[in-house]
Structure 1
């Protein structure tokens, strides 16, 4: 069975490739912008493609005729989306439209990666049936893309996730755990918000959730995230304790003090009962995730 993974140079993409490549029933085609940055060296094909170009997308899908498309590619830097709305729309909505149109021609199963930022954060954590109401442009673009998938002629699944953490082979991408560890080891004080509530997600868990959906070709909306409700400050404090560093160097701050271009929902987080019951999804605790990420950082 052929699976096409978009956004293969990103954090999730770099974890999806080896997971599917190790599984004997999948042939993996990975696509991203520019050169291949995945550390997985074999057992898959890499194709550079511009997903914002309809012809490029059509050519890619027609060439490989995938049975499953996992659309993980996105513009996900929330403030960048707010400042560059045209680029955000072209990347998150336009590319999804082109992929859906191409997928319909080959009747591929379509798995779309979305976000907790489709919600306003007034009443989280949310289940799959909660009404969407984004408060920033990134969330708005993801709602529009979700609707394209939902209204398509395809068999589809939409995966919403939250605050994904892990390690990618990318010198320009930092992760919260190494950021906290490195600063505290140097004796530097760090400021971390304590007024945003999330259910942080280990990237390996998110990738496994996608594999479970692909295996079953399970359709509909699925929340795939961690189970614990934590603030970024909680995550930083646990990280410091894990590495035996000084938690007194971590200062709680309000998100309002950051004056970020894009608003953030205050309380999101996702309820994962459906994924647990229908898929057998079992996420790691944040403490277990710390162990895994620390091993990767080493």
Structure 2
């Protein structure tokens, strides 16, 4: 049985990987994250507090436990914060990845790296794996630099790019588009949603599944992993309103220009998923089914 080490295990994706491993028992898990463990179950796997910026600690953990694979989910993912705090963003997204992949090379560990649709400029989406990147934001730049560091290493690696991940866990450090829209509309708050950006939102469970499929198949190269439905941001928000029978009159359509965000976003991303479906047997849920799964989890958590 393979042993996997997950960075950023306290995040949404990290917790979903833990959940999936505990349910399936297909691999042994070492969960690592900054600070105490947020996942409610603490048995049948190992949790280690590990700051990915502390190279000496990272090396000690990896050299001691010698996992077969590392799933690297930890990153600075807030696009506007990345623009405001470039030094920390570079350290978390680029330097930490360089360190991890060099350790994977040294100890012959399979490296599964999470990346993003924001490495693309959004002019020609949806994108295939081999399409040329051209990031518009500093966040996108750092994720592309991290990808290049991974590709240049002699480690056994796979890059999984994803789009707009949504889902829920019991202890979350940050929200996502579905929870934000649902929460605001339930409070009767007006929402501005852009009508000139298109995405394929990804259920966190689907992405966790893809990470484990990549480990089990010893996948190599680049794979695009997302949901299957291509929608504008305002369509996504309206579908959330429809599902939970909330007031769509609170939703206003605006252009990206009027939103005045710090970082520029690509207009149309989206992924062609054929490669992941063929090689990894990756089969994402529809957005409608994703919302149903989320709804059931919320009812269970209450």
Q: What is the TM-score normalised by the length of structure 2? A: 0.95
Counterpart contact for 1:97–1:148, Cα < 8 Å = yes
The corresponding residue for 1:157 is 158
The corresponding residue for 2:112 is 111
The structural deviation recorded for 1:253 is: 1.1
1:173-226 deviation per Cα after TM superposition (whole angstroms, max 9, x unaligned)? 223223322322332221111111111100000111111111110111000101
Whole-Å separation in 2 of the counterparts to 1:185 and 1:105: 51
Whole-Å separation in 2 of the counterparts to 1:36 and 1:102: 24
Whole-Å separation in 1 of the counterparts to 2:208 and 2:128: 20
1:58-100 deviation per Cα after TM superposition (whole angstroms, max 9, x unaligned)? 1110111000000010010101110110100000111111111
1:238-269 deviation per Cα after TM superposition (whole angstroms, max 9, x unaligned)? 11111112212111111111211111011111
1:122-168 deviation per Cα after TM superposition (whole angstroms, max 9, x unaligned)? 11010000011111111100111111111111111000000001013
DSSP-derived class of the 1:167 partner: coil
The corresponding residue for 2:125 is 124
The corresponding residue for 1:176 is 177
Whole-Å separation in 2 of the counterparts to 1:59 and 1:69: 14
Unpaired runs of 5+ in structure 1?
none
RMSD over equivalenced CA pairs, Å:
1.2
Whole-Å separation in 1 of the counterparts to 2:227 and 2:202: 5
DSSP-derived class of the 1:47 partner: strand
The structural deviation recorded for 1:171 is: 5.0
Tell whether 2:51 aligns with 1:50.
Answer: yes
Tell whether 2:28 aligns with 1:27.
Answer: yes
DSSP-derived class of the 1:86 partner: helix
Q: How does 1:1-298 map to 2 (within 5 A)?
A: 1-298=2-299
Whole-Å separation in 1 of the counterparts to 2:138 and 2:246: 37
Q: Label 1:171 to 1:18 Cα distance change in 2 as closer, same or farther (>3 A).
A: closer
Q: Label 1:178 to 1:40 Cα distance change in 2 as closer, same or farther (>3 A).
A: same
Counterpart contact for 1:17–1:40, Cα < 8 Å = no
Q: What is the TM-score normalised by the length of structure 1? A: 0.97
Number of matched residues? 298
Whole-Å separation in 2 of the counterparts to 1:40 and 1:220: 33
Unpaired runs of 5+ in structure 2?
none
Whole-Å separation in 2 of the counterparts to 1:206 and 1:259: 30
Worse overlay, 240-249 or 217-226? 240-249
DSSP-derived class of the 1:265 partner: coil
The structural deviation recorded for 1:101 is: 1.6
1:9-63 deviation per Cα after TM superposition (whole angstroms, max 9, x unaligned)? 1110010112123333411001101111123332111111121122111111011
DSSP-derived class of the 2:139 partner: helix
Q: Label 1:296 to 1:25 Cα distance change in 2 as closer, same or farther (>3 A).
A: closer
Whole-Å separation in 2 of the counterparts to 1:145 and 1:271: 22
Whole-Å separation in 1 of the counterparts to 2:162 and 2:127: 11
Counterpart contact for 2:11–2:173, Cα < 8 Å = no
Whole-Å separation in 2 of the counterparts to 1:95 and 1:258: 32
The structural deviation recorded for 1:172 is: 4.0
